[in-house]
């Protein structure tokens, strides 16, 4: 597999990067006992450093699977109970609406069913007490989008609270715990949790496309604040490290060198559906993993955005395959989708049926028009020419959070209006895309609306995140 796979990966990577101004990309595949990593291009256009097989990068939200692994380790040791309220262990945990935090269980934190409305809450660094400061800040102005367990919404806040919970019950800081109980046992020798450590190795930075020159420029912010560590703000590592972690989950919690990292039962629990929104754009959620059906094959995946970069980790248990990749512009997500689809179809022979086969005519659009909000995010939805037009605006709570968000997003606080065409009641696709574009990972670009009451939808779901009608 090795030589042929590397040549195929490099060919697709080079073609895409050169056509789409992606400076650098690295991808790896493990299958049937063989592993290959292919790297192309530049890790940092400011220095000209090459992207290498062992170049480090920010994991972004792939970290959430690592955080979940840490939580379940403590469950196995009898330190945590998934069905206990978080306040049992973290009594200072509170939200702006009295009585809501007390209903959130430990399992809700790692299954994205907690409802905490803090997805864009970016408090400052906080130093060693960063996670303690984050939890304290939740009580000052953050409520819930829904009652715990009632819905699912991709939750940075839940993972960060889980990270603080781990610190309290173990007495060890989250970065130290991650290094001790995941990086070390899983064989992730190139992983760290700070820029100071990462700079000692070859490390890539993210880039954004300059709208005037159409050239890639390096991000002005390498990591997010330490307050975002457990959700993906600071952990850094390599594609071989992610493959080692993926192989650990592929092999029932045993790392490539034979070290037991997690029990087979906990590994299986992470891959078990915890909540299903029953909408094509929102794959079922496990604990840590997002569970993508590709026909009869299941891909357990997590992708991660960082300032100007995107990562992905996928485990395909039925075929014994692990795929990991990083690209240093946001558009590299399309290449990750392309490579994953190619691996499934061409390498594994998986049949991927169309996700969307029919488009309904005469869908009533009135229930979906309105204003939807979540923490510091406003989405205006209007009906125009038989389509929905959405305008997404970031509304920063203060100057500090605006600085962090705009650096993370490449400088913008609002996106241009986007038109959506109806597929069926409650489900919409961005205009101009062929339906087969959504068969793979890009199904996340679809938008759905949920819980229609009295002719009005209560929730909008985009990218797995809920906003609530205001």
Distance CA(24)–CA(325), nearest Å, equals 11
Same domain, 278 and 236: yes
Distance CA(278)–CA(280), nearest Å, equals 7
Tokens of 349: 């022979």
Distance CA(387)–CA(428), nearest Å, equals 9
Q: Provide the pLDDT for residue 139.
A: 93
Q: Provide the pLDDT for residue 415.
A: 84
- CA nearest neighbour of 23 among 446, 296, 331: 331
Has 263 been annotated as catalytic? no
Note the pTM of the prediction, 2 decimals: 0.97
Same domain, 64 and 211: yes
> Where does 81-168 show beta strands of DSSP type E?
none
Same domain, 201 and 266: yes
Number of independent structural domains in the chain: 2
Q: Provide the pLDDT for residue 125.
A: 72
Rg (CA), the chain: 21
Q: Provide the pLDDT for residue 127.
A: 76
Q: Provide the pLDDT for residue 141.
A: 87
Q: Does 154 map to a domain?
A: yes
Instruction: Provide the 8-state DSSP code for 177.
Output: H
Residues 130 and 229 sit within 8 Å (Cβ to Cβ): yes
Distance CA(426)–CA(420), nearest Å, equals 11
Same domain, 179 and 268: yes
> Which is catalytic among the residues 61, 153, 173, 374?
61
User: Locate tokens 């009869």: which residue?
Assistant: 296
Same domain, 253 and 377: no
Range of the domain at 68: 1-353
Dihedral angle sign, alpha carbons of residues 158, 117, 119, 154: positive
Q: Long-range pairs for 276-279 at CB < 8 Å and ≥24 separation?
A: 277/151, 277/152, 277/448, 277/450, 277/461, 279/426, 279/427, 279/448, 279/450, 279/461
Residue 139: burial class (beta carbons within 10 Å; 0-12, 13-18, 19+): middle
Q: Provide the pLDDT for residue 224.
A: 92
Same domain, 175 and 298: yes
Residues 95 and 116 sit within 8 Å (Cβ to Cβ): yes
Cβ neighbours of 201 (radius 10 Å): 15
**pLDDT digit string, tens, across residues 325-374:** 999 999 999 999 999 999 999 999 999 999 998 899 899 999 999 999 99
Residues 429 and 435 sit within 8 Å (Cβ to Cβ): yes
Distance CA(352)–CA(295), nearest Å, equals 5
Give the residue ranges of the chain where pLDDT is below 50. Answer: none
Same domain, 145 and 187: yes
Q: Does 50 map to a domain?
A: yes
Distance CA(215)–CA(318), nearest Å, equals 41
Among 353, 385, 416, residue at a domain's last position: 353
- Bridge partners of 393, per DSSP, are 378, 414
Same domain, 316 and 372: no
- CA nearest neighbour of 262 among 272, 250, 273: 250
Same domain, 307 and 275: yes
- CA nearest neighbour of 25 among 325, 400, 411: 325
What CATH code is carried by the domain that includes residue 73?
Answer: 3.40.710.10
């Amino acid at each position: 597999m090795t030589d042929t796979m590397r040549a195929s990966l490099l060919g697709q990577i080079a073609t895409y990067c050169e056509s789409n101004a992606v400076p650098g990309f690295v991808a790896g595949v493990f299958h049937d006992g063989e592993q290959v990593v292919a790297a192309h291009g530049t890790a940092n256009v400011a220095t000209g450093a090459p992207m290498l097989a062992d170049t480090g990068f920010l994991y972004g939200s792939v970290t959430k699977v690592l955080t979940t692994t840490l939580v379940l380790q403590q469950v196995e040791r009898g330190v945590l109970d998934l069905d206990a309220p978080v306040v049992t262990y973290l009594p200072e945990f509170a939200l702006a609406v009295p009585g809501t935090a007390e209903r959130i269980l430990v399992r809700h934190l790692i299954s994205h069913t907690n409802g905490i409305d803090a997805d864009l809450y970016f408090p400052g660094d906080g130093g060693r007490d960063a996670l303690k400061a984050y939890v304290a800040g939740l009580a000052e102005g953050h409520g819930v989008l829904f009652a715990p367990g009632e819905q699912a919404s991709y939750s940075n806040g839940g993972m960060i609270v889980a990270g603080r919970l781990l610190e309290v019950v173990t007495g060890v800081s989250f970065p130290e715990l991650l290094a001790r109980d995941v990086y070390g046992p899983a064989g992730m020798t190139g992983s760290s949790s700070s820029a100071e450590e990462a700079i000692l190795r070859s490390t890539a930075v993210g880039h954004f496309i300059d709208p005037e020159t159409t050239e890639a420029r390096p991000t002005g912010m390498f990591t997010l604040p330490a307050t975002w560590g457990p959700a993906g703000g600071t952990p850094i590592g390599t594609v071989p490290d992610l493959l080692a972690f993926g192989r650990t989950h592929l092999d029932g919690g045993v790392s490539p060198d034979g070290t037991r990292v997690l029990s087979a039962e906990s590994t299986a629990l992470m891959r078990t559906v915890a909540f299903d929104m029953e909408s094509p754009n929102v794959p079922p959620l496990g604990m840590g993993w997002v569970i993508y059906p590709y026909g009869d094959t299941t891909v357990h995946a997590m992708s991660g955005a960082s300032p100007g970069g995107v990562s992905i980790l996928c485990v395909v248990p039925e075929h014994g395959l692990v795929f990991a990749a990083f690209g240093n512009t946001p558009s590299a997500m399309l290449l990750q989708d392309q490579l994953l689809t190619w691996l499934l179809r061409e390498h594994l022979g998986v049949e991927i049926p169309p996700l969307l086969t029919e488009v309904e005519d005469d869908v009533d659009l009135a229930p979906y028009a309105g204003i939807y909000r979540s923490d510091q995010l406003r989405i205006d939805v209007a009906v125009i020419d038989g389509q929905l037009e959405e305008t997404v605006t970031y509304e920063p709570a203060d100057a500090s959070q605006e600085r962090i968000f705009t650096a993370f997003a490449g400088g913008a606080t609002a996106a241009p209006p986007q038109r959506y065409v109806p597929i069926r009641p409650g489900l919409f696709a961005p205009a101009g895309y062929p339906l087969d574009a959504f068969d793979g990972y890009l199904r996340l670009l679809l938008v759905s609306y949920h819980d229609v009451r009295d002719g009005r939808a209560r929730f909008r779901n985009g990218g797995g995140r809920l906003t609530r009608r205001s």
